[in-house]
């Protein structure tokens, strides 16, 4: 009987992860291989599969020496930092606050924070361009009102800001929309992780005289590490692949779009405007390397704790 149990236990994990790998083999591997193959060729897809022309690593070299590629990497990293950092710095305390303090209004508040994630892209594009409108937007209207307030007023700009028209303002505006969109998502993630933490731990700590901040720092944070690793990894991956928000907010036909061109948007342009799928694939692999490196760095920071003391050894 022991022999049989051992066998099942050995085989089980492979069986359990099999569905993912089967699907990956069928639907993921071919596109992956195709993409690698493509990055070594020059190809305009409209000309058909047979028209691929082998160019070796020329595409990679071309991308690495391209000024627009450098600009896009800079933009991407800028967005990752400026919208990613606040997302987490705010989401964590918020989730904590909601978990501890709110009972009846909890659903409503979390719902409010989650709404941005549900709002459709089309709506976001239209409504934010309305809100951020230079002469008629609510934001500028509020700022105009604030100029009347004595102290604060001196900090306010003299004339209405062209949020989506001037590079200096468009970047923060787009970063804000990304932040706005994903704050709730991170709140939800952290909240679900906070549910797991045993309430008794906090009670015991309070009895021992530990203050709120100490409890947060020494109980909550360590136990949240696995979820933080998950959430931060997602933010890294998501932000480095950022495409949607800059794309829908700033029309690609407008001059200022270069200031919010992320690497993913650059890739899109290469593929569908320039008809250069080969270079686009090369850029996607270069981006992949950047993402992989950053994820690895992240796992050094948080990843050790995966499972912690609770997982099987």
Partner 1 sequence: METVPMSMKLVTLALLVPLSATLLAPAQAQQKTTLTVATFPDLDRAAKAAVPAWNKQYPNVELKIVSLQYADHHTAMTTALATGSGLPDVMALDLRFIGKFAESGGLEDLAKSPFNGLALREQFVRYTYTQATSSTGALAAMPTDIGPGTLLYRKDIIDKAGVTEADLTKDWASYIAAGKKIKAATGAYLLADAADLRDIALRAGLNDGEGIYFDAKGQVLVDSPRFVRAFELGREARQAGLDAKATSWTNEWAAGFKQGRIATQMMGAWLTGHLKNWLAPDTAGKWRSANLPGGLYGSYGGSFYAIPKKAAHKPEAWDFIRFMTANKETQLNSLRVLDTFPALIAAHQDALMDEPIAFLGGQKARLLWRDIAAKVPAIPVSKYDAVATDIIRDEFEKVVAEGKDIKTALADAKSLIERRARR
Partner 2 sequence: MRRADTPSTAMAWLLVGAGALLLIAPFYFTFVFATHPRTEIFNSPPPAWFGTSALSNFDLLLERLPFWRNLGMSLYVASMTTALNLLLCSLAGYAFATYEFRFKRELFAVVLASMMLPSFLNMIPSFMVMDFLGWIDQPRALYIPAAAGALGIFMMRQYIGSAIHRDLIDAARMDGCGEFRIFWSVVLPLLGPALGTLGLITFISSWNNFVAPLVVMRSAENYTLPLALRSMQSPNNTEWGALMMGSAIAMLPLLIVFFFSARRLVAGLTSGAVRG
Q: How far apart are CA 182 and CA 143, in angstroms?
A: 25
Cβ-contact 225, 308 below 8 angstroms: yes
Stretch that binds partner 1, among 88-96, 131-139, 199-207, 305-313 (CB under 8 A): 131-139
Is the Cβ of residue 167 or residue 272 nearer to partner 2 in the bound state?
Answer: 272
245 binds partner 1 (CB under 8 A): no
Q: How far apart are CA 177 and CA 128, in angstroms?
A: 8
99 binds partner 2 (CB under 8 A): yes
- Can you list the positions of beta strands (E) in the chain? 41-42, 53-54
Q: Is 108 left (phi over 0), alpha (psi -120 to 50) or beta?
A: alpha
Stretch that binds partner 1, among 44-52, 106-114, 186-194, 226-234 (CB under 8 A): 44-52
192 binds partner 1 (CB under 8 A): no
Q: Which of 144, 221, 292, 297 binds partner 2 (CB under 8 A)?
A: 292
Q: How far apart are CA 94 and CA 90, in angstroms?
A: 6
54 binds partner 1 (CB under 8 A): no
CA-wise closest residue to 70 among 290, 294, 293, 307: 290
20 binds partner 2 (CB under 8 A): yes
Q: Which of 52, 80, 175, 183 binds partner 2 (CB under 8 A)?
A: 183
Q: Which of 42, 72, 262, 284 binds partner 1 (CB under 8 A)?
A: 42
Stretch that binds partner 2, among 57-65, 68-76, 153-161, 198-206 (CB under 8 A): 198-206
Q: Which helix (H) or strand (E) holds 192?
A: helix 167-194
Whole-number Cα distances in Å, 76 to 84, 140, 241, 251, 261 = 11, 27, 8, 17, 8
Side-chain half-sphere exposure of 105, counting CA atoms within 13 A = 7
261 binds partner 2 (CB under 8 A): no
Binders of partner 1 among residues 80 to 109 (CB under 8 A) are none
Cα 162 to its chain centre, rounded Å, is 26
Is the Cβ of residue 10 or residue 253 nearer to partner 1 in the bound state?
Answer: 253
CB 50 → partner 1: shortest distance, Å? 9
Q: How far apart are CA 31 and CA 22, in angstroms?
A: 14
Q: Of partner 2, partner 1, none, which one sits near residue 128, judging by CB under 5 to 8 A according to partner kind?
A: partner 2
Q: Which of 15, 26, 49, 158 binds partner 1 (CB under 8 A)?
A: 49
68 binds partner 2 (CB under 8 A): no
Q: Which of 105, 107, 121, 130 binds partner 1 (CB under 8 A)?
A: 130
Structure tokens that stand for 128 in this block: 């934010």
User: Scanning the structure block, which residue is given the tokens 């050790």?
Assistant: 304
Q: Which of 256, 260, 287, 291 binds partner 1 (CB under 8 A)?
A: 256
Q: Which of 67, 104, 310, 312 binds partner 1 (CB under 8 A)?
A: 67
Side-chain half-sphere exposure of 80, counting CA atoms within 13 A = 24
User: Scanning the structure block, which residue is given the tokens 């993913």?
Assistant: 264
List of residues contacting partner 1 (CB under 8 A): 42, 44-49, 51, 66-68, 129-130, 133-137, 162, 164-167, 251, 253-256, 258, 269, 272-276
């Amino acid at each position: 009987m022991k022999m049989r149990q051992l066998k099942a236990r050995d085989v089980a994990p492979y069986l359990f992860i099999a569905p993912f790998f089967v699907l990956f083999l069928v639907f993921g591997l071919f596109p992956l291989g195709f993409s690698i193959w493509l990055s070594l060729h020059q190809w305009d897809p409209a000309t058909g599969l047979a028209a691929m022309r082998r160019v070796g690593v020329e595409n990679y070299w071309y991308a690495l020496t391209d000024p627009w590629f450098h600009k896009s990497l800079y933009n991407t990293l800028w967005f990752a930092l400026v919208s990613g950092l606040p997302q987490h710095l705010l989401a964590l305390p918020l989730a904590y606050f909601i978990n501890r303090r709110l009972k009846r209004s909890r659903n409503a508040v979390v719902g409010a924070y989650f709404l941005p994630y549900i709002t459709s892209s089309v709506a976001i594009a239209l409504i934010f361009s309305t809100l951020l409108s230079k002469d008629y937007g609510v934001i500028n209207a509020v700022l105009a009102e604030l100029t009347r307030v004595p102290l604060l007023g001196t900090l306010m700009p003299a004339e209405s800001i062209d949020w989506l028209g001037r590079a200096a303002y468009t970047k923060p505006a787009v970063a804000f929309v990304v932040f706005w969109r994903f704050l709730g998502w991170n709140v939800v993630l952290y909240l679900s992780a906070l549910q797991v933490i045993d309430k008794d731990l906090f009670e015991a700590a309070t009895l021992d005289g530990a203050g709120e901040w100490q409890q947060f720092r020494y109980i909550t944070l360590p136990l949240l590490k696995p979820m933080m690793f998950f959430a931060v990894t997602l933010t890294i991956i998501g932000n480095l692949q950022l495409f949607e928000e800059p794309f829908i907010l700033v029309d690609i036909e407008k001059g200022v779009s270069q200031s919010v061109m992320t690497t993913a948007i650059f890739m899109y342009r290469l593929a569908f405007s320039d008809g250069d799928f080969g270079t686009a694939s090369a850029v996607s692999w270069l981006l992949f390397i950047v993402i992989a490196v950053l994820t690895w760095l992240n796992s050094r920071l948080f990843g050790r704790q995966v499972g912690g003391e609770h997982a099987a050894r």
